[in-house]
Amino acid sequence: MPVVANHMSRDLLTVGPDERLGAAAKRMADRGVGAVLVMEGERPAGILTERDLLKAVAAGLEPDARVQDWMTRHPETIEAGDSTEHAASLMIHGGFRHLPVLDEGKVAGIISIRDLMRVTLEDSAPRGV
């Protein structure tokens, strides 16, 4: 069974909780990612996702809004050695698309629903190809 460590992204984009929300959104867009880990030192304080940004905009985003005002605090996490099936189950039942990955208690990466779809479809090709 595939494990999370073999399919997660290790090249993390992180932000601090005091960073301005607009700056974090720009960094996300520049990197083409749908979520960033919010770090307080070595510890994950939360996760900021596209959905969080959408909520902020819908609420009338203030120019001085900070990441900590809109991030999801204490996100669900998964261990690097856990199965991708377990990751998918957490995401489906939790209603989210990104999971921070820990290895021996430290942030090691992030896995997305897109990463899990690649695992599922790695031996498949689209019709007509």
pLDDT the model gives residue 125: 62
pLDDT the model gives residue 123: 60
Domain count, the chain: 1
DSSP secondary structure code for residue 82 in this structure: S
Average of pLDDT values for 88-111?
95
Which residue range is the domain that position 81 belongs to? 4-121
Residues 17-28 pLDDT 10s: 999 999 999 999
**Is 85 a domain residue?**
yes
**Is 66 a domain residue?**
yes
pLDDT the model gives residue 42: 87
Is the pTM higher than 0.85? The answer reads yes
**Is 127 a domain residue?**
no
Tokens of 54: 């959408």
For 107, residues 6+ apart whose C-beta sits below 8 A from its C-beta are 12, 37, 39, 42, 44, 100, 101
With contact defined as beta carbons under 8 Å apart, do 128 and 80 qualify? Answer: no
